[in-house]
Structure 1
Amino acid sequence: MIMKTASLACIALLALSACSTSTTGRKQVMLFSETELSKMGAASFEDMKKQTPISSHKATNEFVQCVASAITKNVPASAHKGEWEVVVFDSAQVNAFALPGGKIGVYTGILNVTEDQDQLGAIIGHEVGHVIEHHSNERLSANKLSNIGMAVATVAVGASDLENKGLWMAGLGVGLQYGVIMPYSRSHESEADIVGQELMAKSGFNPKASIKLWQNMDKLGGNAPAEFMSTHPSNQTRIKQLNAHLAQSMPLYQQENSPNCKKPKVIPKPPAAKEKLG
């Protein structure tokens, strides 16, 4: 009986297979309103602008703005209505992101990995793909449901006569993390890859560049954790999936629609972090 009751933690997460459907046909649940998510996104973005230096390099900003503008023109209104705010952060991080509410951040570090406008289009397309598919809402909803499930299991185990209750609860937490939460996150990444590849193609960027991008990323990967213990698919898995999807993406690409965004020959290095006094 106790095992059945405690398994509500997992059942709660399995409820994620209901409610709505993504554009790729994957079942979703979203417990938060888009207004709430937009406010969260805007607040997070403002915090990041205060904490991370913003690039003032004209050519770099023009390049990123050019690519982002081409991408966001093709974003459905269901993801965001109105203008997008795009900021280039002066940081060596090899990263970029998009947030609900029309916010895009690109770190200068990733511009050293992207060779041209097409590869940057793949990056921004992928990040905006997360917004299009409402992944932030799903992740917050998943966390909320997992917390509810763990709370129910804690009460159930606490009322039982099981031995090693702490060990049992720790095991349940690991099972939720590796069995549900991480695969769920990996499905988001794979979906954003596919949606982003189609979005970049519609925006005039060659979708084949998404594959070259992840080949570049693979060279930087180093000793990455095993895929089943990672929130992201392996680079090789992504490359394989993107290759397979080219049959759908390439017909959307029209070379004459290329925005012709010019990457500067030199991306200035970010300033060294200042040593804190006191």
Structure 2
Amino acid sequence: MSKFRNALFTLAVLLMVGCTTVPITGRRQVSLVGDQEVIQMSFQAYSDLMKQSKLSSNATQTAMVKRVGQRIQQAVESFMRQQGASAQLEGYQWEFNLIQDDKQQNAFAMAGGKTAVYTGLLPITQNETGLAVVMGHEIAHAIAKHSNERISQQLLAEYGGATLGSLGGGASTQVINSVYGIGAQGLLLKYGRTQETEADRLGLIFMAMAGYNPESAIPFWERMAANSGGQAPPEILSTHPSDATRIANIQKNLPEAKKYYKAR
């Protein structure tokens, strides 16, 4: 009976809470948390991580990360303005940093625009356009409010739909950190297949609007696949789309993205 009651409660919560709509894709997503609440907690998590991290001293690479980030920021702001959705960027304080860590082949963008790239990823991105693929994808996660969605899913699964604020500082921080994967293993985002595919599509459009050729996404993800050494689990066992599925989806979405592309 307890499982049945829990299922009914979860359904009731899903029916009562507000939903948001992801830009472009139109997918409806459950949201149990306010944007500003998530943004402020992300800012704190980002600040803590920056204090624990060493920023790169390579001026050229650092400038490239900031340049790509700022161009994609401008593209996002332009896109949201065209959609009459600029209010969704309220509270954003964009920041782009390059973290010195050659072992981590990773990047992330938190709610509110706080973004970082690890130096270990640069040999795979190879150039500014490859970097734009990654940063467009990560910033798309933020614009699609995937962190809000993940927090909501965790609140439903582990806290019975409790609000983030009602958990108290320690528990709420733990939720934020688990969503972004902040811990001893570094920052490894744990988004699901739908969210990853969505970020790929949005990221292509954002990089195209920023003046980077979206066709560069295919060779980048091919390099990522080659770099993994075939260690990824079968797609049925993974929360992420397989390399082949991801590349096929990107190829399908390229015509849409190229409509936004104007070379710099």
**Would you call these one fold, judging by a TM-score over 0.5?**
yes
Q: Aligned partner of 1:19: which letter?
A: C
Q: How has the CA–CA distance of structure 1 residues 29 and 16 changed in structure 2, closer, same or farther, with 3 Å as cutoff?
A: farther
Q: Is the 8 A contact 1:13 1:146 kept in 2?
A: no
SS in 2 for 1:190: helix
CA distance in 2: counterparts of 1:142 and 1:95, whole angstroms: 24
> TM-score w.r.t. structure 2 length?
0.77
- Give SS of 1:204's match: coil
Aligned residues: 225
Alignment of 1:29-44 (within 5 A): 29-44=30-45
More relative contact order, 1 or 2 (CA 8 Å, 6+ apart)? 1
Q: Which residue of 2 aligns with 1:237?
A: 245
Secondary structure of 1:87's match? Answer: strand
CA distance in 1, matches of 2:63, 2:2: 60
**Counterpart for residue 21 of structure 1:** 21
Displacement after TM superposition at 1:73 (Å):
0.7
1:247 aligns with 2:255: yes
Alignment check: 8 A CA contact 1:16 1:28 kept: no
Matched residue, 2:107: 96
Aligned counterpart, 1:84: 94
Q: How does 1:52-63 map to 2 (within 5 A)?
A: 52-63=53-64
* Matching residue within 98, 120, 134 for 1:123: 134
User: In 2 relative to 1, CA 150–46 (structure 1 residues): closer, same or farther, beyond 3 Å?
Assistant: closer
Measure how far apart 1:89 and its partner are.
Answer: 0.1
Q: CA deviation digits over 1:24-55, x for unaligned, max 9?
A: 11111111111111111111111111222111
Runs of at least 4 residues off by over 3 Å:
1-18, 79-83, 148-151
Q: CA RMSD in A?
A: 2.5
Q: What per-residue deviation string (whole Å, max 9, x for no partner) do you get for residues 3-28 of structure 1? A: 64454477479769972321211111
Matches within 5 A, 1:46-57: 46-57=47-58
Asked whether 1:206 is paired with 2:220, we answer: no
Deviates more, 1:76-85 or 1:239-248: 76-85
Quote the offset at 1:186 in angstroms.
1.2
Deviation of residue 130 (structure 1)?
0.6
Structure 1 gap segments, 5+ residues each? 152-182, 258-278
